[in-house]
Structure 1
Amino acid sequence: MIIDLPSTSTSAINKAMVDLRDSGGAVALGRVLTLVVITDDAHAEDAISAANEASREHPCRVLVLARGNKRGAARLDAQIRVGGDAGASEVIVLRAYGPLVEHGETTIVSLLLPDAPIVAYWPGTAPDDLRTDPIGAIAQRRITDSAEARDPAKALDSRRTSYRAGDTDLAWTRLTNWRALLAAALDQPPYEPVTSITVAGAPDSPSTELLAAWLAAKLKAPVVRARTKRGTGVQSVRLERKSGAVELIRPEQSVATLTQPGQPDRRLSLARRLVKDCLSEELRRLDPDDVYGEVLADGLPQVNKKVMSVRDAQTAGKLSTPAAAAKRQAAAEQQSAKVSRSMKGAPPEPERSGDLTLAAPVSPTPAAKKAAPRKRAVAKKATA
């Protein structure tokens, strides 16, 4: 259900919400937080769609502040969405025009759920300093997305200089699967220190910078940043150890190959994460992400000290070439297919009953068939 309220006020919106609950039974019970989405009018629907999907895991009230044209008279248009048009939440879209664009915090204060945490989310351009932003000041958690900024590198630097407990960025959340795979690979013997790190990714990918910063902060090893084509995201990570290199390569955007000394290459699902999945993950926790803060403060300054092209890194032996990566991935696919075929063709295991194996009946041999009548005759004579 969608209810339009053109040229309205916050008091009229609250009255409409009360009338809606009385008539339709739509209540705020079970809402665990208030999600405030600050965006522009052109990108509001994309942000609402991501918030709706995230609300299926985290029922909440979604307040979308869509800032319109600053020129002209002050006007506030509202839209209330409940039911199938709002996922598991109730969505209030506020489109502000004129002077109201600069006073969004006064617009949303009266619409916040009482005694519920506040999470602020900027899906596009965010303030340089979230600490001084009026909405950021009242929120327990502040979520930005440096990848959607006009200058991702500058946006990431702003996040570092203005960080305070409760801040996070979806560029960091997109690395959850990368971090899990690399941590699992290093959590196996031999437990040797990493001597050098090479991270390859696009220059416009803040996730690549944060991944390199995380490895530098945690492994205390020098980092080489290899730059690939723009728009390719994170492409590969190579960790050098005495026994050999651990390398995680994603030549495509969905499947990666993990190479470890003494082990067969493995193909792993490593697709790019959608915004709704990243947003859902961030809403699972309302406490500060201390690791993210440590990466910004300690790891990020170490990343840009040594940068080279991906071709130079491959020539220096710091990264595998695309041909070698493709060959490894093809070999891993063939091995996986071979194992699958052998498993399909294997005979079924005998059924077990307690500690006894119920073996399948064995067919008698030709010699046994010939001896059977003689054995029966001897047995008959003996009984006679």
Structure 2
Amino acid sequence: MNIDLTDTTSSRINAELVKARRALGSPATGMVLTLVIVTDEGNHYDALKAASGASKEHPSRILVVVRRPGRSPRDRAQHRLDAELRMGSEAGSGEIVILRLHGELSSHSHSVVLPLLLPDAPVVVWWPEDAPENPYQDMLGKLAQRRITDAAATEDPVGALGLRAETYAPGDTDLSWTRITPWRSMLAASLDQKHSTLESAVVEGEEYNPSSELLALWLAERLRIPVERKISDGPGITAVRLETADGQICLDRAEGDLAELAVPGQPDRHVALQRRSTVELISEELRRLDPDEAYAEAIGYGVNKLATPDPVHPTPAATPSAGTEAQAQQQTQEQAQAQTAEAVPAKGKDAKGAGPAKKPAAKQQAPAKKSPAKGQPTAKKAAGQ
């Protein structure tokens, strides 16, 4: 069932949803959350397709916010709300409401979305592209328990990860992190099989692949070893190598679907490690609505350390301590005082060696030498004041 509403309001949309639900013979909603998708007209189809697939596992009300601010002042002045309602077989296991906000109304999307949220149900906001700099401070982001972004969809993926690290708030996550879940699971299982001292690690992947950066950060933060980031032709992450005291643990995915796991002392075996679709990624993120602490620790470890192919784990001697700087300043002051002390006796020697012609001047200097001793109490009083 599809219902088109032109120049409508949020209250009317709610009334039409209740009416359509009764017409379909399902007065109870049976939905577990509200998924808000913030996108544009060109990308809303793919995002809605992925959300509809995820709703089969997580029945939800999907609100698609499409902003149309207009190019001219006249377009921005003509604000209105158009809506498209999809229910029944058209919406899968939930309800779909496509909201098109025209003119100035596009800047107040939170006021349109708020009355349409399911009561007493969690809210998840997903930005497939063009996420705000600070999702938590966004007006729609403040309504949600979880906020999903995708650094891979930006022009500068690594820079986007740095921005996510600076503005992180509990509830934030990124699909670049979700993509490495199979890699993290496989590496953790391989380390459980082989108990050995870890020395270093290497992560190979595409140059601007944010998932490769996050995987390297996760290994460096968890294992506290140097992690080197190497560039490969891809696709995505191609290999992870862990150097241990007993040999190298290698997880190599050269084909893109099937990976080979090599552990010292064990036969090599093939494991399924295919690249997952957006439907699978969104379904995984909707399984948990609590803050992802592992993601917070990995992204907060320092994305800037992976700007170059140098090891991620820093050495303690790389940063000078505050005590070393204080000692350097003290040595500089002592050298300056020594130079001043040497300059004063040199002047006195020249004055004594001036000869008989300068004898009166030497007599005049004599009281000057005694004057500091006489004026010393006065100096102490001044210092006491």
TM-score by length of 2: 0.77
Residue 303 of structure 1: CA displacement?
Answer: 3.0
Counterparts in 2 of 1:232 and 1:301: CA distance versus 1, 3 Å: same
Counterpart position of 1:218: 222
Corresponding letter in the other structure for 1:112: L
Name the aligned partner's letter for residue 201 of structure 1.
G
Q: Match of 1:297?
A: 300
Say if 1:67 and 1:147 are closer, same or farther in 2 by CA, change over 3 A.
Answer: same
Q: Secondary structure at the match of 1:286?
A: coil
Flag structure 2 segments of 5+ consecutive residues without an equivalent: 312-385
Corresponding position: 1:128 with 2:133: yes
One-letter code aligned to 2:241: R
SS in 1 for 2:197: coil
Residue number in structure 2 paired with 1:352: none
* 1:212 alignment partner AA: A
Alignment partner of 1:134: what SS?
A: coil
Q: Kindly, what percent of the aligned residue pairs are identical? A: 47
Counterpart AA for 2:190: A
**1:268–1:226 Cα change, 3 Å:** same
The RMSD of aligned alpha carbons is: 1.5
Q: Deviations over 1:44-85 (max 9, x none)?
A: 111111111111111111111012243312122110011121
Using the TM superposition, name which of 19-28 and 269-278 deviates more.
19-28
Counterparts of residues 142-157 of structure 1 (less than 5 Å)? 142-157=147-162
> How many residues are treated as equivalent by the alignment?
306
- Per-residue CA deviations over 1:126-185 (Å, capped at 9, x if unaligned) read 001112100111111111111112221221111110001111111101111100110000
Aligned to 2:14: 14
Please point out which of 248, 251, 272 is paired with 2:254. 251
Q: Distance in 1 between matches of 2:70 and 2:163?
A: 25
* Per-residue deviation, 1:299: 5.2
Question: In structure 2, which of residues 111, 116, 119 is the aligned counterpart of residue 114 of structure 1?
Answer: 119
What does residue range 359-374 of structure 1 map to in structure 2 within 5 Å? Answer: none
**TM-aligned CA distance change 1:225 to 1:207, over 3 Å:** same
* Counterpart secondary structure, 1:212: helix
C-alpha displacement of 1:3: 1.2
1:228 maps to amino acid: S
Within the alignment, does 1:209 sit opposite 2:216 as a pair?
no
Deviations 1:110-130 (A, max 9, x none): 101111111111111200111
Indicate how the Cα distance of structure 1 residues 143 and 134 shifts in structure 2: closer, same or farther if over 3 A, else same: same
SS across alignment from 2:235? coil
Which AA in structure 2 matches 1:32? V
Match of 1:273 in 2: 276
Local SS of the residue matching 2:290: coil
Cα distance in 2 for partners of 1:30, 1:22 equals: 13
Once residues 221 and 28 of structure 2 are traced to their aligned partners in structure 1, the CA distance between those partners, rounded to angstroms, is: 43
Q: 2:202 aligns with which of 198, 201, 206?
A: 198
Partners of 2:175 and 2:281 within 8 A in 1 = yes
Distance in 1 (alpha carbons) for counterparts of 2:308 and 2:199: 17
User: How far is 1:22 from its partner?
Assistant: 2.7
Which stretch has the larger CA shift, 134-143 or 18-27? 18-27
CA-to-aligned-CA distance 1:279-312 (integer Å, 9 cap, x gap): 111101111100000001125344335349xxxx
> 1:246-275 CA distances to partner (integer Å, 9 max, x unpaired)?
011111110111111121111111100111
Give the aligned residue type for 1:133.
Answer: D
AA partner of residue 30 (structure 1) = G
**2:162–2:304 CA contact under 8 A, matched in 1:** no
Q: Is the 8 A contact 1:223 1:302 kept in 2?
A: no
In structure 2, distance between residues paired with 1:86 and 1:59: 10
Whole-angstrom distance in 2 between the partners of 1:142 and 1:46: 19
Partner of 1:317: none
Q: Give the structure 1 partner of residue 361 of structure 2.
A: none
Farther off after superposition, 291-300 or 66-75: 66-75
For 1:59, the equivalent position in structure 2 comes to 59
Compute the displacement of 1:25 (Å).
Answer: 2.4
Partner in structure 2 of residue 261 of structure 1 = 264
Aligned-residue offset at 1:28: 4.9
Larger mean CA deviation between 40-49 and 297-306 belongs to: 297-306
Shift of 1:36: 0.6
TM-score calculated relative to the size of structure 1: 0.77
- AA at the equivalent of 2:205: G
Task: Describe how 1:342-357 pairs up with structure 2 within 5 A.
Answer: none
Q: 1:169 aligns with which of 164, 174, 182?
A: 174
Distance (Å, rounded) in 2 between the aligned partners of 1:18 and 1:87 = 17
Match of 2:98 among 93, 97, 103: 93
**Aligned in 2, Cα 1:302/1:154: closer, same or farther, shift over 3 Å?**
closer
1:75 maps to what in 2? 80
- Extract unaligned runs of 5+ from structure 1: 309-384
- The 3-state SS of whatever aligns with 2:104 is helix
Rounded to whole Å, the distance in 2 between the matches of 1:13 and 1:248 is 51
Q: SS at the partner of 2:42?
A: helix
Which position in structure 2 is the counterpart of 1:341?
A: none
